Every structure is written in structure tokens, then in C-alpha cells.
Amino acid sequence: MTKNKEIFIISDSAGDTAFNVTKAAIAQFFDLGVMYHRYPFMTDISKINNVLNTIKENKDSILFYTIVSPENVKYIKEFCQKNNIVNYDILSPIISVVKNSSGLTPSYQAGAMHQLDSGYFDMISAVEFALVNDDGKHPAGFEDADVVLLGVSRTSKTPLSLFLANSNIKVANLPLVPKAKIPDELWKIDSKKIVGLTTDLNVLKKIRRQRMIAYGLNPDTTYSDEKELIDELEYSKELYDKIGCLVINTADRSIEETASIIMEKLNLGHFSSKK
């Protein structure tokens, strides 16, 4: 039996953190119908109070919030307790843990994660790098890349490149086609920063057929022919063996999971600072 809930999200910034965390939790409840109400950039207590009064009138609701101001957090908690509003403070417990562990005092600055610091501009630069070096358009960029992704068509090279770019990682990617010449630049770089993407035959066939259908084309072409796909996957495997690079099967893996493996294996996780 399906149940319905009104989910209210209050944030003193854009609210993406609260929204994404909430969605991840809600996704575990298949029989729950949800309507989201987002209230970003709520730093004024009077505006927060108006939203809380709206929530108070809706008894079948849950409030999630990411607020850094201790005074505003205190007000929200007391209001919710007084009016029996189900609520969860996403940010404060984490801030407290880091504060107690590090001995440092938080800035309590709303939207601090989104400040236009050097890290932000590094991320923009990495995204631009990924776009310029997408689909093998600029092999000269391989040398400057942190990661070079190889793979046959539809193994998630481009979305993975852009996802990694959001972590300030410069990524170039090269599509692999049997009989096509491999750029000389590929053989000049350290094999440790090359990642070969592969997938399962049935998964690749399904994705390519769906791709053709989405374009309004006949799905039964050489692009999705099983023999052609076997040849492509075997070709990529032989190339990866020759290079000696890390190989990841993207079948049944999300972009996030694949990115996490790459960052861990290539030691791309690092401490960052705004200073």
C-alpha cells in the first residue's frame, strides 16, 4: 500500500546537499509517494518562521534542513518540538563531530562550500579540459591529463570524465574502434594514469540498441551487431593488456562507483584547502 509524504527542505544555501541526502534516503522506500518543497537561501529568521508555520499546518510531513547558524538551528528545533513536527538536522551533527575531533571552530558561514575560491576555479578548468579532450578530439591533451579513459562506444567515457572533473580531476578520453589508428600520444604517457573501460556483451548490446531507437533509427545495425560487439570488446581487451593499465567493467556500476574506484586506484583523492 502506497503512503504519501510531504518533504520540506530548508537550507541557508542552494539546498542541494539537503535535497540529495534526502532523496538518497527516500529512494529506499519503494511504496512512499513524495512531494518535495524546497526553500533555499533561508537565512532570515522571519522567512524561516513562515515556512515552519506552513509545515505546521501539514501534519503528514517531514522537515530536513541544512542550516549553519546555531541560533537559527535552535529556533527550528524548538519550533518543531513545540508543534510536533518530524524533523532532521543534517548538518549540525557533522559539524560537531569535525569540531570536536579537530579542535577547530567552524566559521558558521552559510554556503561556504560554494564560495568562489581557487578550488571552484580548478573545477571549472577541469570541466573545460574534459570538454576539449572528449572523444579523442585532442590527443595532445593526454600528457596534461590526470586520467586518460579508453573504451568502446557506450562505456560511459564522457559522463565519467565530467563527473571526475567536478572533483578537479583533468580527464581526457579516447573511443576505441578496431582498425582505427591509436594516437601516438597514448604511447608516450605513463600507463598508470590510463584506465580501460569495458562492459558485458549483453549490456553493451542493449545500450546501443536503445541509443539507436532514441534517435529514431533502426536498432539492428552493425553498431549493435553481436559479432561486431564481440570484436570491439576483444580488441579493447588486447589493447589494455598491451598497455598494462587499470581495467574497470562498468556494467552494473554507477558513474559514482566507477569514479570512486578510479580515484582510489590512481591515488587521486587528496586534502584540499581554501588557503
* Selection from 166, 155, 154, 156 nearest residue 129 by Cα: 166
Those residues of the chain that have pLDDT short of 70 are 1-2, 111-118, 269-275
Give the pLDDT score at 30: 87
Buried/exposed 173-194: b ≥16 CB within 10 Å, e otherwise: bbbbeeeeebeebbeebeeebb
Give the pLDDT score at 268: 84
Give the pLDDT score at 48: 97
Give the pLDDT score at 271: 42
Give the pLDDT score at 270: 47
Where does CATH 3.40.50.2300 sit in the chain?
3-113
What fold does the segment set 118-265 form as a domain? Rossmann fold (3.40.50)
Distance CA 85, CA 142 (A): 54
Q: What is the pTM of this model?
A: 0.66
CATH 3.40.50.2300 fits 3-113, yes or no: yes
